[in-house]
A = this chain, B = another copy of it.
Amino acid sequence: MQFKRNFSAKREAIYRTLSSTDSHPTAEWIYEKLKTEIPDLSLGTVYRNLSVFKESGLVKSVGVVNGHERFDWDTSQHSHFVCNCCFKIIDIPKSRMFIDQNTVSHLENECDVHIQNHSITFYGLCGDCSKKISESEDK
Protein backbone atom coordinates (compact mmCIF):
# COMPACT_ATOMS: atom_id res chain seq x y z
CA MET A 1 0.00 0.00 0.00
CA GLN A 2 1.14 3.46 -0.79
CA PHE A 3 0.50 5.80 2.07
CA LYS A 4 -2.40 7.85 0.94
CA ARG A 5 -1.98 11.56 1.35
CA ASN A 6 -5.01 11.69 3.57
CA PHE A 7 -3.74 9.20 6.06
CA SER A 8 -5.66 10.62 8.96
CA ALA A 9 -4.04 11.40 12.28
CA LYS A 10 -5.89 8.63 14.04
CA ARG A 11 -5.16 6.13 11.33
CA GLU A 12 -1.54 7.08 11.49
CA ALA A 13 -1.50 6.72 15.27
CA ILE A 14 -3.06 3.28 15.07
CA TYR A 15 -0.49 2.12 12.57
CA ARG A 16 2.32 3.70 14.55
CA THR A 17 1.20 1.98 17.73
CA LEU A 18 0.98 -1.38 16.04
CA SER A 19 4.32 -1.01 14.37
CA SER A 20 6.06 0.01 17.56
CA THR A 21 5.57 -3.33 19.23
CA ASP A 22 6.46 -6.93 18.60
CA SER A 23 3.67 -8.17 20.82
CA HIS A 24 1.28 -8.87 17.94
CA PRO A 25 -1.47 -6.98 19.73
CA THR A 26 -5.22 -7.10 19.61
CA ALA A 27 -7.45 -4.22 18.57
CA GLU A 28 -8.29 -3.67 22.22
CA TRP A 29 -4.62 -3.43 23.19
CA ILE A 30 -3.98 -0.75 20.59
CA TYR A 31 -7.06 1.10 21.72
CA GLU A 32 -6.01 1.04 25.39
CA LYS A 33 -2.52 2.11 24.48
CA LEU A 34 -3.76 5.12 22.54
CA LYS A 35 -6.53 6.20 24.87
CA THR A 36 -4.28 8.51 26.90
CA GLU A 37 -2.81 10.14 23.85
CA ILE A 38 -6.10 10.36 21.97
CA PRO A 39 -8.94 10.43 24.49
CA ASP A 40 -11.67 10.67 21.89
CA LEU A 41 -10.57 7.59 20.01
CA SER A 42 -13.16 4.89 19.69
CA LEU A 43 -12.64 1.16 19.55
CA GLY A 44 -14.69 0.94 16.38
CA THR A 45 -12.18 3.16 14.65
CA VAL A 46 -9.36 0.88 15.64
CA TYR A 47 -11.20 -2.10 14.24
CA ARG A 48 -12.09 -0.19 11.11
CA ASN A 49 -8.55 0.90 10.45
CA LEU A 50 -7.09 -2.49 11.15
CA SER A 51 -9.46 -3.83 8.51
CA VAL A 52 -8.29 -1.17 6.10
CA PHE A 53 -4.67 -2.08 6.79
CA LYS A 54 -5.34 -5.76 6.34
CA GLU A 55 -7.15 -5.29 3.06
CA SER A 56 -4.42 -3.11 1.69
CA GLY A 57 -1.76 -5.53 2.85
CA LEU A 58 -0.12 -3.02 5.17
CA VAL A 59 -0.50 -5.37 8.10
CA LYS A 60 -1.26 -9.04 8.50
CA SER A 61 -3.38 -11.02 10.87
CA VAL A 62 -1.60 -13.66 12.90
CA GLY A 63 -4.93 -15.36 13.38
CA VAL A 64 -7.34 -15.69 16.26
CA VAL A 65 -5.66 -16.66 19.53
CA ASN A 66 -7.84 -17.35 22.51
CA GLY A 67 -10.72 -15.53 20.88
CA HIS A 68 -8.83 -12.37 19.97
CA GLU A 69 -7.50 -11.52 16.54
CA ARG A 70 -3.80 -10.68 16.67
CA PHE A 71 -2.11 -8.31 14.26
CA ASP A 72 1.41 -8.04 12.91
CA TRP A 73 2.97 -5.04 11.22
CA ASP A 74 5.71 -7.26 9.81
CA THR A 75 4.20 -8.64 6.66
CA SER A 76 7.25 -10.54 5.54
CA GLN A 77 7.10 -14.31 5.66
CA HIS A 78 7.90 -15.61 9.12
CA SER A 79 6.55 -18.06 11.64
CA HIS A 80 5.22 -17.55 15.14
CA PHE A 81 5.25 -19.18 18.50
CA VAL A 82 2.12 -18.91 20.63
CA CYS A 83 2.24 -19.57 24.36
CA ASN A 84 -0.68 -21.76 25.36
CA CYS A 85 -0.57 -20.28 28.84
CA CYS A 86 -0.23 -16.48 28.53
CA PHE A 87 -0.94 -16.29 24.79
CA LYS A 88 2.19 -14.28 24.14
CA ILE A 89 3.25 -14.45 20.50
CA ILE A 90 6.91 -14.57 19.57
CA ASP A 91 8.43 -14.23 16.12
CA ILE A 92 10.50 -17.13 14.90
CA PRO A 93 13.74 -15.82 13.38
CA LYS A 94 13.35 -15.27 9.68
CA SER A 95 16.43 -17.30 9.03
CA ARG A 96 14.13 -20.25 9.68
CA MET A 97 12.50 -21.02 6.39
CA PHE A 98 10.59 -24.24 6.54
CA ILE A 99 8.89 -24.30 3.17
CA ASP A 100 10.33 -23.24 -0.15
CA GLN A 101 8.66 -22.25 -3.37
CA ASN A 102 9.51 -25.52 -4.97
CA THR A 103 7.64 -27.43 -2.30
CA VAL A 104 4.69 -25.12 -2.69
CA SER A 105 4.58 -25.78 -6.43
CA HIS A 106 4.58 -29.51 -5.89
CA LEU A 107 1.81 -29.19 -3.34
CA GLU A 108 -0.31 -27.15 -5.71
CA ASN A 109 -0.14 -29.94 -8.26
CA GLU A 110 -0.63 -32.68 -5.74
CA CYS A 111 -3.69 -31.09 -4.16
CA ASP A 112 -5.13 -29.20 -7.13
CA VAL A 113 -5.08 -25.87 -5.40
CA HIS A 114 -3.56 -22.47 -5.91
CA ILE A 115 -1.49 -21.48 -2.90
CA GLN A 116 -1.15 -17.81 -2.10
CA ASN A 117 0.61 -18.01 1.23
CA HIS A 118 1.07 -20.18 4.25
CA SER A 119 1.45 -19.81 7.95
CA ILE A 120 3.39 -21.84 10.45
CA THR A 121 2.63 -21.57 14.13
CA PHE A 122 4.28 -23.38 17.00
CA TYR A 123 2.40 -23.81 20.25
CA GLY A 124 3.71 -24.52 23.70
CA LEU A 125 4.96 -22.70 26.77
CA CYS A 126 7.10 -19.61 26.67
CA GLY A 127 10.14 -19.35 28.93
CA ASP A 128 8.28 -17.36 31.57
CA CYS A 129 5.34 -19.69 31.79
CA SER A 130 7.56 -22.76 31.80
CA LYS A 131 9.41 -21.34 34.76
CA LYS A 132 6.27 -20.38 36.64
CA ILE A 133 4.78 -23.79 36.15
CA SER A 134 7.83 -25.72 37.26
CA GLU A 135 8.14 -23.45 40.30
CA SER A 136 4.56 -24.07 41.35
CA GLU A 137 5.13 -27.80 40.89
CA ASP A 138 8.11 -27.66 43.23
CA LYS A 139 5.98 -26.69 46.19
B-contacting residues of A (Cβ < 8 Å)? 63-64, 81, 83-84, 90, 92-93, 96, 98-99, 103-104, 107-108, 110-127, 130
CB of A124 within 8 A of CB of B120, answer no
Contacts of A116 in B (CB 8 A): 84, 123-125
Chain A interface main SS type:
strand
Q: Are A83 and B118 in contact (CB under 8 A)?
A: no
Bound Cα distance from A81 to B118, whole angstroms: 9
**How many angstroms from the CA of A125 to the CA of B90 in the assembled complex?**
28
* One of B81, B93, B107, B122 near A122 (C-beta < 8 A): B107
Give the 3 A-B residue pairs with the shortest CB-CB distance, closest first. Answer: A112-B127, A116-B124, A115-B124
Give the CA-CA distance A92 to B83 in the complex, in Å.
25
Report yes or no: B98 in contact with A113, Cβ–Cβ below 8 A.
no
CB pair A120–B118 under 8 Å, yes or no, is yes
Inter-chain contacts of A110 with B (CB < 8 A)? 93
Find chain B residues with CB under 8 A from A108 CB.
Answer: 124
Of B112, B118, B121, B124, the contact of A114 (CB 8 Å cutoff): B124
Bound-state Cα–Cα, A127 to B110, Å:
11
Task: Supply 9 A–B pairs (Cβ within 8 Å), ascending by A.
Answer: A63-B63, A81-B111, A81-B113, A113-B125, A114-B125, A116-B123, A117-B124, A118-B121, A119-B121
- The answer for the CA separation of A115 and B99 in the assembled complex, in Å, is 19
